[in-house]
């Protein structure tokens, strides 16, 4: 009996672009961005796939370039976020946070009606599928301490993003 391995299905569209924090890979469907990954250890999730772009991804490439060069503070891109209801509420709070703004995990918990859910908020922030565009790097501990970051190389990546936006942190 022969074992057949089903093909790995990837995103409909994928692009990669260089940035000061490493290569960035953005995926999309026909209408919206679905993920953004920052290079970790020299690798990206879909690096084995050839690039296939569309208008949404070309706008993302342009706007990310403008953000990293200091010419853009807000993103105007369609994003499709898949997650639990609680995760989506956390990501909505993040999306409303302006350039240079900061929230603590506790403040997000209060805003989502779960004031004592710091660990759950941290999990939702860490599960953000579209970092930078949905700015999870703008979340700090209540004492403005960096408590972690799941994108790119972790805390050094978050530190760069915070410094880029002029956000004081510890």
- Joined tokens for residue 135: 């700015």
49-92 pLDDT, tens digit per residue, is: 999 999 999 999 999 999 999 999 999 999 999 999 999 999 99
15-61 pLDDT, tens digit per residue, is: 999 999 999 999 999 999 999 999 999 999 999 999 999 999 999 99
Distances, alpha carbon 9 to alpha carbons 13, 45, 49, 119, 129, in Å:
12, 12, 10, 32, 18
Q: Is residue 168 pLDDT above 90, yes or no?
A: yes
| Cα 141 from chain centroid (whole Å) | 18
For residue 136, indicate whether it is catalytic.
yes
At 7, the pLDDT band (50, 70, 90 cuts) reads low
Cβ atoms of residues 77 and 59 within 8 Å: yes
For residue 8, the model assigns a pLDDT of 62
Q: What is the pTM of this model?
A: 0.91
Cβ atoms of residues 97 and 138 within 8 Å: yes
At 9, the pLDDT band (50, 70, 90 cuts) reads confident
Rounded CA separation 11/161 (Å):
26
Query: Which residue in the list 136, 140, 161, 167 is annotated as catalytic?
Result: 136
Residue length of the chain = 170
The conformation of residue 27, written as its DSSP 8-state character, comes to E
User: Which of helix, strand or coil describes residue 37?
Assistant: strand
Rounded CA separation 20/65 (Å):
10
Work out the average pLDDT over 102-114. Answer: 91
Longest dimension (CA), the chain: 62
Cβ atoms of residues 74 and 98 within 8 Å: yes
């Amino acid at each position: 009996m022969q074992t057949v391995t089903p093909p790995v299905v990837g995103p409909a569209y994928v692009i990669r672009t260089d940035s000061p924090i490493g290569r960035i890979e953005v995926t999309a469907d026909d209408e919206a961005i679905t993920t953004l990954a920052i290079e970790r250890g020299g690798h990206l999730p879909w690096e084995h796939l050839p690039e296939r772009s569309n208008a949404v991804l070309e706008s993302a490439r342009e706007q990310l370039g403008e953000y990293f060069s200091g010419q853009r503070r807000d993103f105007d891109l369609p994003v499709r976020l898949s997650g639990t209801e609680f995760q989506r509420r956390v990501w909505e709070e993040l999306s409303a946070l302006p350039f240079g703004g900061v929230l603590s995990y506790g403040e997000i918990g209060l805003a989502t009606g779960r004031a004592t859910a710091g660990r759950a908020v941290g999990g939702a922030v860490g599960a953000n599928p579209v970092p930078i565009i949905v700015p999870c790097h703008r979340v700090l501990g209540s004492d403005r301490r960096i408590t972690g970051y799941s994108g790119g190389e972790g805390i050094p990546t978050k530190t760069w993003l915070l410094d880029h936006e002029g956000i004081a942190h510890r």
